[in-house]
Chains A and B, each alone.
Chain A
Amino acid sequence: MKNKHRLTFIVLLAFNVQSSTAAVIAYTGTIALSIKPKECVVYKEGDKCYANTNIKWKASEIGSFCLFRTPGDIKLACWNGANEGRFSESLVMDKPVEYYVALADNSEILLRETLNLSWVHKKSSRPEHTWRIF
């Protein structure tokens, strides 16, 4: 009985190693992802930010890739048999947005980049700068 359990464990371990290897085999190259701009700036915290984003990715090997945006895991575009791609969109954001490139077949995320949201003035109950008195 004890030996049987040991055998099962070894089989599972071997299977696990095999599946990990299989995922790595699916894409073993390198990939680069760039987003412009990297930051969207508003006047005051809480304002919506309007951004025109340009996204470029480039992989060392040809494959099938998809570009996603979060929040929402929205699929923006897919490329088959490609090793680079570009995508542009106009965006209205009220929180940071993350773009990621994933394999088309199993959605394995290869690389993420964040478009940050910043503001000049914090939200407060008083005007953001000193007011004229005179």
Chain B
Amino acid sequence: MNDGALDLPNKKLFGRNYMIYLYSVMRTVLLALMLVSYASYSFAEEALTEDKLQQDDKNSRDGYYFSIGTGYWNYESPLREELNGLAFVINGRYQRNGFFVELANGSSGTSNLPTLGYNFYGTEHWNLDLLYAITDGTGEFSYEMDGKTHEMSTLPISGVGFRALGSWGNTTLQLVGLNSFNSEFRSDTAVDYAALWLGHRWQIKNWSLNGLVGAKYRSSDLMNYSFGVTEREADKIVSAYETSSGVDYTAQIDLTYPIRKNVLFQIYATHTQFSDEMLHSPIIKLLSKSENRPEKEQTFGILLHYVF
């Protein structure tokens, strides 16, 4: 299971696994800080020259972006409990000498956990990165049967791979391919996770209308780790389930207005159609039945962002 993923019917387990998840995030953040520090130190002597060069290089991605936002959102999904109310979102990116750390949270309906990388190639229209990212947090699922609690859980999943980011005016294309792993999951497949996103921004007076469509692929190994049920785990409530790879499709639209040069108002809505391979999982079916969750994921939000 996967926390884009499954929520926690059994609250007793929340603390332990949440700590594991938190540990993974903290480990990544610490690693990011070390990486950035190392980059700053290693290239200190070159920094002035580099900065000068980068001033002249319009394609340089070195620099930072950071914003925090709050407002209202509603989130419905087959994977998690419904969220309705106050939202808090963070978007940030810092890059120096090609090394970067990114964090995107919330307003897309799902979260980008801390991502580390190295931007090894850049042109006017293309940027290529090597990436390390935590793609999914802890997944847990438990139910009562014959007076006993049965549990299934997955550890956070990391991925290492490649990202290509193309940009032409207000149109952006992003392709990500990752090999996924954690301490109990390894895959022989070169790419376990791939995502293709296409976005465009239209200016209407001082408003920006942003449209985004995307497809997310998960290999059969990754699908089975997250949503499969082995013969050993199966019982009379949760049947065995083995599946193939799956593709989810997402469309997002948002309307943004710059109130001040560091304050943005945003209204957005996201819709995701999950693959049949995921929706047919007995875990998802049981959650859907017991908690009346929808098959499609939908998010709506009204937010104010402060851009630093």
A residues lining the B interface (CB < 8 Å): 39-44, 47-50, 118-121, 124-134
45-93 of chain B: CB within 8 A of chain A: 58-59, 61, 65, 67, 91-93
Please count how many residues in chain B sit with their CB below 8 Å of the partner chain's CB atoms. Answer: 50
Contacting pair A50 B261 (CB below 8 A): no
Answer whether residue B208 sits at the interface, using C-beta atoms and an 8 A cutoff.
yes
Within the complex, the shortest CB–CB distance from A83 to chain B, in Å, comes to 34
Contacting pair A133 B112 (CB below 8 A): yes
Contacting pair A50 B208 (CB below 8 A): no
| CB within 8 Å for A132 and B205 given contacts A125-B59, A127-B199 | no
B residues lining the A interface (CB < 8 Å): 4, 58-59, 61, 65, 67, 91-93, 102-104, 108, 110-112, 115, 122, 124-125, 127, 131, 133, 135-136, 163, 165, 167, 172, 174, 176, 193, 195, 197, 199, 201, 203, 205-206, 208, 214, 216, 256, 258-262, 264, 307
Closest partner residue, chain B, to A125 (CB atom): B59
Contacting pair B176 A133 (CB below 8 A): yes
- Contact partner, B65, options A44, A118, A119, A130, Cβ 8 Å: A130
Contacting pair A43 B195 (CB below 8 A): no
Q: How far is the CA of A121 from the CA of B67 in the complex (A)?
A: 11
Q: How far is the CA of A129 from the CA of B254 in the complex (A)?
A: 14
- Contact partner, B174, options A44, A50, A131, Cβ 8 Å: A131
Contacting pair B127 A133 (CB below 8 A): no
Contacting pair B203 A43 (CB below 8 A): yes
**Across the interface, which residues of B come within 8 angstroms of A47, CB to CB?**
203, 206
In the A-B complex, list the 5 residue pairs whose CB atoms are closest, starting with the nearest: A118-B261, A130-B104, A132-B108, A41-B258, A43-B208
Contacting pair B112 A130 (CB below 8 A): yes
